[in-house]
Amino acid sequence: MSLPDYKSPEKQSSAAHTNSPVVQLNVGGHLFSTSLSTLRKHPDSMLAELFSRQPKLRSDAEGRYFIDRDGSHFGAVLDFLRSDRLPTENIQQVHREAVYYNIKPLIKVLEETPQLFGELVGRQQFLSRVPHYKENIEVLIRIARAEAIAARHSTIIICVLRTEEDLGFYDNAINSLEADKESVVTFGPWKAVLSVKDLLDCVKMDIESQGYRLSIRPHILERSFLSRSYDFFHKLTFTWW
């Protein structure tokens, strides 16, 4: 007597799902039902690749295909795949998911929305011309956290040099500073029409987007009768509680 061909529950589930036009998904704990044709709509996307002839995913305890990623905005991705419907909120978050799943038509149309167009074409293009901008933001946060021990505030001095001419005065300006010169973080110069205020607004926006509370104000240096006044310095204050 021959024994029946045995397949593990996971293999049985995978075989069943492969043969069924309806697919049950678990995306980071968020449950969805859709079709294979929807998931394969854009052949060069990650979803089309994952659900090719033999799906390349594990199953959860209920037999649903499991994607180990936050599924909070996956429904908006599915809506676009089903009917080309665009989200009206959480545009940046949906764009991030579209990039992750490599759904190029969704990426393109989201980047044309006012919410992303100004960010990508305006602000990010400007910041790409500010040397070491992202690294400086990371340094500012690292210094602030190091100074937060048993304190309510952390204060950091930054130096903003708008032009090459400003850069030429850097040594004199930094020598006139009474604060710890080693901890001063310098931005610029940059080749763009945007102002120092625009740069400071970007610094505040990017630090606060990570959950920090921040204020920025000019750091006024005391000057003698014969010394030159420099307006390069600004005081960043992180408030912890």
Tens-digit pLDDT profile for residues 89-126: 999 999 999 999 999 999 999 999 998 999 888 999 99
pLDDT in tens, 184-227: 999 999 999 999 999 999 999 999 999 999 999 999 876 654 56
Residue 137: CB atoms within 10 A of its CB come to: 18
* Token pair 């764009």: residue: 95
Is cis: bond before 87, omega within 30 of 0? no
Provide the CA 47 distance to its chain's centre, in angstroms: 22
Q: How far apart are CA 66 and CA 24, in angstroms?
A: 9
Beta bridge partners of 24: 33
What's residue 221's pLDDT?
74
Q: How far apart are CA 203 and CA 216, in angstroms?
A: 9
Q: How far apart are CA 133 and CA 78, in angstroms?
A: 35
What's residue 13's pLDDT?
45
Q: Which of 74, 75, 55 is nearest to 65 (CA)?
A: 55
Checking DSSP bridges between strand 213-218 and strand 233-239, what pairing results, if any?
Answer: antiparallel
Question: Residue 179 has which token pair?
Answer: 């604060």
